[in-house]
Amino acid sequence: MNNQFIGIIKRSEYLVFLANIGIDTDAITNEIVKNIDKSAIDNFSNSSHQLLSPNVYLESLVFKHVCKYLYEEYKDSVIFENETKLDIKTIIATSRSLIQRPNIVKPSNLVGGFKEPDHENNFVIISRFEKELITERRPPEGNIVFEGLLPCKIETNPLIDKSPSQHIWENNYYLGEPFIQGFCMSINSVEAQYVLWMNSTLLNMLELKLGDYRNGLRALNSNNEVVLKFRCWRYQLIGNGASFVGTDSNIAKLEGCDLILREDYYNKLKKIIPDMVYYTKII
């Protein structure tokens, strides 16, 4: 069995949750692995590029067997908490935040380190995540860029995946954490693949409020003006061409997201955090 599949299974939020409350998940993992349908996986396998197209097959299989196991062994004592519930609001909000890829430098052409953030139409790009797939190389290789604000000049990844996206709507996202923005990543999941958002403490200090999730992931000021906005994109699918783009070709050469803040509010943020810097980390 491909180690990539086993890694995806073990990182499932459902198995992680069970492990955190003291349940041995080895038996569940083994049962899931035994029930993987190779023909279902083959539907998403792109042999030309040796890649797997994004899909939710494994997540649905994990969920099925976790629920079966809990019903048989712990049906009266285990409850999934908020961290393992589907975040419907963020799913809808991010789907309404899809844009054409901005005219920005590709990760392969970026240089890591400290710099001034980019500006776009009276907004400042305060954080960015992007993956680049270079299919011309065999096997295909990739570059990933993590960019964002840090409270002081220290060389560290500004985008840490530490808090579930549900906390955005509960106004406690990265509460008490020393991060200006937070990052969520859910690969091969029905949930939003990538999410960037501002620490709720700073959001409150800037006197901003969340907008209606049906209009995208954004924050408004007291005049109902959009001040903070999340954007995401998927660009250049490898299957684009004369033939039909199938389940094995939904692989983007460039996919990512950013978080933009209106310039006047960026200046307010700098007054709150005088030593704030912008840092680029490339892997």
Cα–chain-centroid distance for residue 124? 20
Phi, psi at 45, each rounded to 5°: -90, 125
Nearest to 112 by CA among 161, 160, 155, 159: 155
Token pair for 212: 């209606």
The pTM of the full predicted model, rounded to 2 decimals, is: 0.76
- The pLDDT assigned to 1 comes to 47
Nearest to 157, CA basis, from 131, 177, 123, 182: 182
Query: Half-sphere exposure of 107 toward its Cβ, with a 13 Å CA cutoff?
Result: 22
Contact 98, 233 (CB under 8 A): yes
Please give the helix or strand (H or E) that residue 21 lies within, else none: none
Q: What is the pLDDT of residues 232-247, one digit of tens each?
A: 998 877 754 444 455 5
Query: For residue 77, what pLDDT is reported?
Result: 59
What pLDDT shows up at residue 64? Answer: 80
Q: d(Cα 194, Cα 112) in Å, to the nearest integer?
A: 21
Angle of CA points 30, 32, 34, to nearest 5°: 70
pLDDT computed for residue 118 by the predictor: 96
DSSP H helices in 38-151: 38-42, 57-74, 88-95
Helices 26-34 and 3-10, axial angle in degrees (round to 10)? 130
Per 3-state DSSP, the chain is made up of helix, strand and coil in percentages (nearest 5) of: 30, 25, 45
Closest CA to 226 of 245, 212, 205, 243: 212
Instruction: Please spell the DSSP secondary structure of 204-242, one letter per residue.
Output: HHTT-EE--GGG-SEEE-TT--EEEEEEEEEEEETT-SS
CA angle, corner 189, sides to 185 and 193, nearest 5?
A: 35
- Cβ atoms of residues 34 and 6 within 8 Å: no
pLDDT of residue 12: 78
| Structural contact between residues 6 and 33, judged by C-beta atoms closer than 8 angstroms | yes
Q: Give pLDDT tens digits for 39-58.
A: 766 656 554 545 555 666 77
Distance, in Å, from the CA atom of 240 to the CA atom of 251, rounded to the nearest integer, reads 10
Tokens encoding 266: 């960026």
Question: Which parts of the chain have pLDDT scores under 50?
Answer: 1, 47, 49, 240-244, 248
- Per-residue model confidence (pLDDT) at position 66: 78
